[in-house]
Structure 1
Amino acid sequence: MGRDDAKGNNEDTSRTNLPIHEDVENIVAPVVRKEVGVVAVDNLKLKIQRLKVSGLCKTKNDIVVEQIKPLFLADSLQSILIGVQDVQDKLQTLDVFRNVEVVLDTAKGPGAKKGQLEVTFFVKEKSRLHLGVSAHAGTQSGDASLSASMRNVFGRAEVFKLTSSTTLPHFGHSQQMEFHKMHYADLNKRLLLTCGHTKLDHPFSGFQENVIGSLAQLSFTSWLGHHKLSWNCDWREIFGFASNVPIQVRSQAGHSLKSSIMHTIETDRRDDPMDPYKGYYARVVQEFAGIGGDTVFGKAEIHSALYHQIWNNLVGSLTFWAGTMRPITASRINDRFFLGGTTTLRGFGMWGVGPHESGYSLGGEIYWAVGLHLYHPLPFIHGQINRYIKLHAFLTTGKLFGYGIGGWSPTELLTHNRLSVGFGLLFNIGMGRVELNYCIPLKAQSHDRLLPGLQLGVGIEFL
């Protein structure tokens, strides 16, 4: 069974389901009857004479008017139907309406002319208070969160949110306040303000960390992709060492203040983010710390993936991750890169690659990693299940190095690389994926922490 058969009939037909009053059909029908064997109404000239929105209570008029006014430019039945659906999508994006329904009718009353329409949007607002429970999985960790939100605070789709979350596997917790605001003229532009406290336990490096931080972030889109421009200010404390933690980690104890500017750009050209057969994905993060505070460094990181349908349902993937950090002051362990684990270099323990002392990971200032993957649906099984469960084979390689003050030579990039291979099952679970793999480390260093055999990985992003 091919991919199209597996996906079934999932096309969006909502554009053809708009309620149209019978008077509008009386305008269209004579034009249709003039055609011989062909129904052609796309170019029928119609104009919108009046737009109405019914059901607004807490929401201000100006933010709604900004979304619906492009409809007045529509001049045909096709452009009106497409425009109405686009407006309906925008009103849903505001996340203040539970339902948005639309009715098209012929224009009536003073000034109404033949060929003019009246469009009415019937909306039902969501309750202002909302309680939520969520779970997220990242590259090296996940979290479970309980949140309380106040929506539409000032009537223009603002959100004030309180969140308490527990982080795994670092067994930390955080409390955070957030304020979200959309730009009424461009819903892709959003402002996020946060402040809060986070406590993390880093057992693989032997320390605990307290962070009291704030963030101001502006997100927007361009032809390159989705951008996030943010200012971060974090007061960090490293403490809580076990008795056998080496001096390289103990020397990091105490407080530090990091104030940084960060820019993230993300481009996603995959045909399906959950089950890609072709396309690519890339995310580039750049950070400069030193806008105040006692921590100064420049940092850049890239995560990328390329997908290609090799034959029928056999898909190949090439992933490439890399990062570099240039400290101006001595680098701190909580700013460095770490590598290894079920979502990065499989066959190694969490943070198990790179400089170690007494079994604890010290991190590094430069890394790279490459993954080669093959995916195929389960044999002799057809239908939607092939979208959620696949066979998986992989080869991963990479390196983390550059710990401490001092430079590094380019020859270090390609020497003493780690290498692992394996196979297993991949489960797509909507918000992320689960991998159950049998891993075989082929190349490692004496200080690395290996984890051969079965590994279970849960996350959103995998090497």
Structure 2
Amino acid sequence: MGASKSKDSQCQIKLPKFYRARKDLDLTICPARIDKVHVAGLSRTTEDYVQRVASRVFRATNFQDVIVECTEAWASLNELGIYKDLRVQIDVSQGANASPNGYEVSFIGTELPRVVGAVGTEVGQNEGSMTFDLTTPNVLGRGERATLHGSYSNSKRTDLTLRISKPYLHTVLGDYKPEVAVEVFRQAAMVPISAYKTENFGMLAEFKMLFPLNWRVSHSFQYEMSFRELYALGKQSPFFISQNCGPRMASLLRHIASIDMRDNRIFPTRGAHMKCTTEYCGLGGNLSYLLGNLHAEVSFPLFAGLSAQFVGRAGVIRNIGKNQPEPPISSLFTLGGPLTLRGFQFGGVGPHCDGYAMGMHSYWATAFHLWAPLPFYSYLGRFGDNFRSHLFYNFGNCDSFSVNNLRAAAGFGVAMRIGERARIECNYCYPLNKEKNDRTQPGLQFGIGYEFI
């Protein structure tokens, strides 16, 4: 048996010796029929959970189709969350019932242990966190999973979540990747730009799926019931923070729709990405508001390694009913900083009181980027692919969707990729337009995160 790598470099497919010796052979002209598919290494997993995924291999009519279908089936089996490692083996069919061009496909793997633990780091929006996860995968044999997740960030944000999820990838709706989950959470965060801290405790029920399939739009429908309490950081907190302090109960529905057609999440050169979040709070408790937030970006290549990018984001929150109280400051938006409006301090755009951001009920921000590789990146080899330089011009406004009182800044900088999760930006910023209460940050500005404007 010879080894050949498929399109996914992590998928190892063992081929018959004949195909290994004829590397120049056009596999599309080689007829093939799959006689048997064997899935090995299952002890806790039920057969019906993997049967639908493995059966797609029978659609192959030539040997090129066999490799493609095996690769896709391998990826789908890994998505089931039951295997620690998995490999594919293709053999010539043998026996009295073997077809003339018949083959047998075996998926051979090792199931995940009953308990899996991990300790690591995670990059958030301009913060880093220490994390731990304790997971019991495949609890009942059909991909059920219970996960305990905890994190503590350098900004003193803590998060403890217990999540129980159940996928339905083995059903007739498996292509839509449906999943149901329930979680209990406790979160605490400090917001020094507004001199308050919050503590949230509650539960969340979620249903996720892809629809429509040809666009691969991901939908998440959530119901959340939580108890939220806001505290002043200390005596230095202004009076408007004290007015927002106290416990509240929130009962809300949330819908998140997202589509990602970019060729790369960190440094895209072509494609588009959009994410829309809608919340309706007011099904109970003493919080009542309607919130919408939209993030969109599009990138396209130019010439000589250059690419252009347009990014926009907008949000609005409104209370429901004339006699209902205004949403607390912890539910309002902030604008400014290296991740949103460069050239301004964190939360530096909009109204301030005693130097602290008061939040805003609506905002919009837009940025134009011209991305290019470093001038000497070819001397760095593949390491140079982790760096990009850019020119940018960003502008936006708060509590108004007009172009009056526009805030704007321009500059240039260098960005470095951190894996496929986040990037670091070092920019030189020059504010162009600002208002009286805004707080600018001309000169060098550093930012780290996974979603930038």
TM-score normalised to structure 1 length: 0.87
Question: What secondary structure sits across from 2:302 in the alignment?
Answer: strand
| 1:162 pairs with one of 148, 152, 169 | 148
Residue 460 of structure 1 corresponds to: 450
Q: Distance in 1 between matches of 2:37 and 2:76?
A: 16
Q: Distance in 2 between matches of 1:259 and 1:142?
A: 30
Which has the larger displacement, 270-279 or 212-221?
270-279
Deviations 1:285-324 (A, max 9, x none): 1111112222111111111112122331122211111111
8 Å contact kept, 2:232–2:242: no
Say if 1:152 and 1:254 are closer, same or farther in 2 by CA, change over 3 A: same
Aligned residue runs from structure 1 range 411-430, under 5 A = 413-430=402-419
Aligned residue runs from structure 1 range 38-437, under 5 A = 39-139=25-125, 141-169=127-155, 171-185=156-170, 186=174, 188-223=177-212, 224=215, 225-328=217-320, 329=324, 330-382=326-378, 383-401=381-399, 413-430=402-419, 431-437=421-427
Q: Distance in 1 between matches of 2:344 and 2:27?
A: 63
Q: Distance in 1 between matches of 2:341 and 2:105?
A: 56
8 Å contact kept, 2:279–2:291: yes
Deviation, 1:226, is 1.6
Q: Which amino acid aligns with 1:95?
A: G
Say if 1:238 and 1:13 are closer, same or farther in 2 by CA, change over 3 A: closer
Question: What secondary structure sits across from 2:330 in the alignment?
Answer: helix
Q: Which amino acid aligns with 2:110?
A: K
Q: Distance in 1 between matches of 2:332 and 2:399?
A: 10
Deviation, 1:52, is 1.6
Q: Which amino acid aligns with 2:55?
A: K
Q: Would you say how many aligned residue pairs link Structure 1 and Structure 2?
A: 434
8 Å contact kept, 2:6–2:67: no
Q: Which runs of 5+ in 1 are unaligned?
A: 1-9, 33-37, 403-409
Deviations 1:385-414 (A, max 9, x none): 332112222121111227xxxxxxx6xx22
Deviations 1:428-456 (A, max 9, x none): 11210000112222222222222222111
Which has the larger displacement, 383-392 or 423-432?
383-392
Say if 1:380 and 1:288 are closer, same or farther in 2 by CA, change over 3 A: same
8 Å contact kept, 1:351–1:361: yes
8 Å contact kept, 2:144–2:164: yes
Q: Distance in 2 between matches of 1:456 and 1:65?
A: 50
Q: Which amino acid aligns with 1:447?
A: N
Q: Distance in 2 between matches of 1:395 and 1:39?
A: 52
Deviation, 1:210, is 0.9
Say if 1:362 and 1:83 are closer, same or farther in 2 by CA, change over 3 A: same
8 Å contact kept, 1:244–1:358: no
Say if 1:309 and 1:107 are closer, same or farther in 2 by CA, change over 3 A: closer
**Are residues 1:449 and 2:439 paired?**
yes
Q: What percent identity do the matched residue pairs reach?
A: 26
8 Å contact kept, 1:241–1:250: no
TM-score normalised to structure 2 length: 0.89
Say if 1:198 and 1:326 are closer, same or farther in 2 by CA, change over 3 A: same
Q: Which amino acid aligns with 2:452?
A: F
Deviation, 1:368, is 0.4
Which has the larger displacement, 269-278 or 10-19?
10-19
Which has the larger displacement, 418-427 or 130-139?
130-139
Deviation, 1:40, is 4.6
Question: What secondary structure sits across from 2:100 in the alignment?
Answer: coil
8 Å contact kept, 1:207–1:238: yes
Q: Distance in 2 between matches of 1:273 and 1:198?
A: 28
Structure 1 stretches of at least 4 aligned residues deviating more than 4 Å after TM superposition:
13-17, 38-41
**Are residues 1:18 and 2:13 paired?**
yes
Question: What secondary structure sits across from 1:112 in the alignment?
Answer: coil
**Are residues 1:439 and 2:424 paired?**
no
Question: What value does the CA root-mean-square deviation take over the aligned residues?
Answer: 2.5
Say if 1:309 and 1:40 are closer, same or farther in 2 by CA, change over 3 A: closer
Q: Which runs of 5+ in 2 are unaligned?
A: none
